[in-house]
Copies of this chain bind each other. A is one copy, B any other.
Amino acid sequence: MTTRQKKIKTILEELKHDGIIGISVDCVIFGFDENELKVLLIKSDLEKFENRWSLLGDLVNNHEDLNQAANRILQERTGMNDVYLEEVKAFGEVGRHPAARVVTIAYCSLINIQHHQLKIHANELHWHRLNTITDMAFDHKKILETCYEWLQKRIQEHPLGFSLLPKKFSLRELQNLYEAILSVKLDRRNFRKKFFSMDLLEDTKEHETDVPHRPGKLYKFNYDKYKKMERKKWFGIDF
């Protein structure tokens, strides 16, 4: 058990004793590899959840914002800064944590698996394919599902997906990403048309290498253009 883990245990005991609500942050960290969506998990510390997988989380310090806490967790575990990170939902059921009453704020993060190295390998930190995850500690399964559904919706409205890809990527990779996250098959031509018509992809003039077929062009995402875009869709009732 690390120093931090011992400290957390002490804090939780105090909270329990005093009847005070603790507050934590849990990060659902998604990655994309081998054309599959992955999520970064560790083994739970708690005896009660022995051998169960857990999201990366921690208690929020008194002097840090929620976002800062989430970023800290990401930094500690993946060594990455400047990562896509967004709050999704609070989970605060009375009995969700066995040691004390703890309300947690769930964050969703998207990172490029290639671009980072896992810093701390304690507790068997590693990537899991989404549909192979069964038992999880706490209510983390529910949190994960909520974040996954959130991602499916969000990725259709905002260009988050690019955070999961290398800086330069082929259209095929982009399509694979969307197909994996939404679990649908898409028409290649219509997919291209859609993205080119949005005019957010910048041609790098480079091509794939070492592929056993005609190499595809590599693009990068032009985030500036996206920011400048006038958001049109002002109205479209669609229950």
Contact = CB atoms under 8 A, between A and B. Distances in A.
Given A64-B94, A94-B63, A238 B233 contact: yes
Given A87-B90, A157-B239, A159-B239, A62 B101 contact: yes
Interface residues of A, number: 41
Contacts of A224: none
Interface in A21-42: 21-23
Interface string A26-66: 00000000000000000000000000000000001011111
26 contacts: A20-B20, A20-B62, A21-B22, A21-B23, A21-B62, A23-B23, A23-B103, A62-B101, A66-B90, A66-B103, A90-B90, A92-B105, A103-B103, A103-B105, A156-B235, A156-B236, A156-B237, A156-B238, A157-B238, A159-B239, A178-B237, A182-B234, A186-B235, A195-B237, A198-B239, A229-B239
> What are the 8 tightest A-B residue pairs by CB atom distance, in nearest-first order?
A66-B92, A19-B62, A90-B105, A90-B90, A21-B23, A65-B93, A156-B237, A159-B239
